[in-house]
Amino acid sequence: MKRQLITKPGFTLIEVLLVMVILAMLASVAIVMFSGTEEGAKIDTTELKLKAIEKALGLYNSHIKHYPTEEDGGLEALRKKPSDEDIAKKWRGPYLTEAPKDAWDKPFHYEPVDSESSESSGGKPYKLWSEGPDKQSETDDDIRSWSEEYTE
């Protein structure tokens, strides 16, 4: 009588381990390739929000005939009707529906600039910026409404 070797279909331990190693290598390559993508998307989103705020500021200026001051409430003047009656008559807002925040959930910074120092803001009557990825103001990764060549 001959003995027949009966083999069961399936994978050996070596085959399973080899597949796991290959999957781990592919996952590590994917992580390296896409790790910078999220941060880049946040920067792009913040730049778009910055441009939207600039447009809202321009619209506010065309109605009120000046950009919001600290007395007007800064960027909040784009959302809430001013208490000053003369300005309230001209106000056609809200120019923004929510408090402007960057992609890192931090508020944008807004600073009106007088005409003598408007060169530091690229000729604009204000400075508008996000702290950027490091969430610290006045660092190289800040996202600004003015060109780097105009910084003080």
| H or E segment and range at residue 110 | strand 109-112
| pLDDT score, position 128 | 92
What range defines the domain where residue 130 resides? 41-150
Residue 59 domain flag: yes
Residue 11 domain flag: no
Residue 36 domain flag: no
Q: What is the pTM of this model?
A: 0.68
CATH number of the domain residue 108 falls in: 3.30.700.10
Coil vs helix vs strand at 23 = helix
User: Could you give the number of structural domains in the chain?
Assistant: 1
Residue 31 domain flag: no
% of the chain surpassing 90 pLDDT: 26
Which residues lie across from 9 on neighbouring strands?
A: none
The 10s digit of each residue's pLDDT in 8-50 is 777 788 888 888 899 988 888 887 777 667 788 888 999 999 9
Residue 25 domain flag: no
Burial class of residue 39, CB neighbours in 10 A (0-12, 13-18, 19+) = middle
| pLDDT score, position 13 | 82
Half-sphere exposure in the Cβ direction for 140 (13 Å, CA) = 0
The 10s digit of each residue's pLDDT in 44-97 is 999 999 999 999 999 999 999 989 988 888 899 899 988 888 888 998 888 998
Residue 52 domain flag: yes
Residue 97 domain flag: yes
Residue 9 domain flag: no
